[in-house]
């Protein structure tokens, strides 16, 4: 019997990609404790920002600061946490529409149990004390206390 030919295939991507002016600015903002979105030609703001309009494919360049507070539009509870999760205990993940943005972003919710969460609640960003320009600089979002109620 003839010997079969064999060639091992190593799938790799031996290159790096720069973050570019939009994502680079977003990450720099996170390092500085601010969250940036990007204005579309129709005036709406995407957050997190993208380099191109998702509907028209036009390049987007007008970065705008959005608030660290926002509204929890929807959420889910993750229990048990997945092995690749940045959180090692049960946690919430939410779609949060930050003040000044027209689209929600997904991020962790810093609560102890799902009974603390409801769609429409106000949340506020919590930052890590040491930041380096990564989405993990934003530790997550916690419930925002209502003025005068302590809740």
CA distance 45 to 63: 9
Residue 143, preceding peptide bond in cis (omega within 30° of 0)? no
**Could you read off the pLDDT of 4-19 as tens digits, one per residue?**
777 777 777 777 778 8
pTM of the model: 0.83
Q: How many domains, the chain?
A: 1
User: Does residue 149 sit within a domain?
Assistant: no
Q: Which range of residues forms the domain containing residue 75?
A: 20-143
**Per-residue model confidence (pLDDT) at position 146:** 64
User: Does residue 11 sit within a domain?
Assistant: no
What's the order of all strands across the beta sheet hosting 63-66? 45-46, 35-39, 63-66
| Backbone dihedral angles phi then psi of residue 52, each to the nearest 5 degrees | -135, 145
Of residues 53 and 80, which shows the higher confidence score? 53
Segments of the chain assigned E as strands = 35-39, 45-46, 63-66, 69-78, 91-98, 105-109, 122-127, 138-143
**Could you read off the pLDDT of 76-93 as tens digits, one per residue?**
999 988 888 888 899 999
**Could you read off the pLDDT of 21-34 as tens digits, one per residue?**
999 999 999 999 99
Q: Reduce the DSSP state of residue 137 to 3 states and report it.
A: helix
Beta bridge mates, 124? 69, 142
């Amino acid at each position: 019997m003839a010997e079969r030919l064999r060639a091992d295939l190593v799938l790799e991507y031996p290159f790096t990609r720069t973050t570019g002016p939009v994502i680079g600015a977003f990450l720099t903002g996170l390092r500085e404790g601010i969250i940036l979105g990007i204005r579309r030609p129709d005036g709406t703001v995407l957050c997190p920002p993208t380099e191109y309009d998702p509907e028209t494919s036009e390049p987007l360049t007008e970065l705008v600061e959005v608030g660290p507070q926002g509204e929890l539009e929807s959420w889910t509870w993750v229990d048990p946490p997945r092995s690749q999760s940045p959180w090692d205990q049960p946690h919430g993940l939410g779609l949060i529409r930050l003040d000044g943005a027209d689209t929600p972003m997904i991020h962790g919710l810093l609560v102890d149990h799902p009974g603390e969460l409801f769609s429409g609640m106000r949340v506020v960003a919590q930052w890590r004390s040491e930041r380096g320009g990564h989405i993990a600089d934003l530790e997550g979002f916690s419930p925002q206390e209502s003025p005068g109620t302590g809740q």
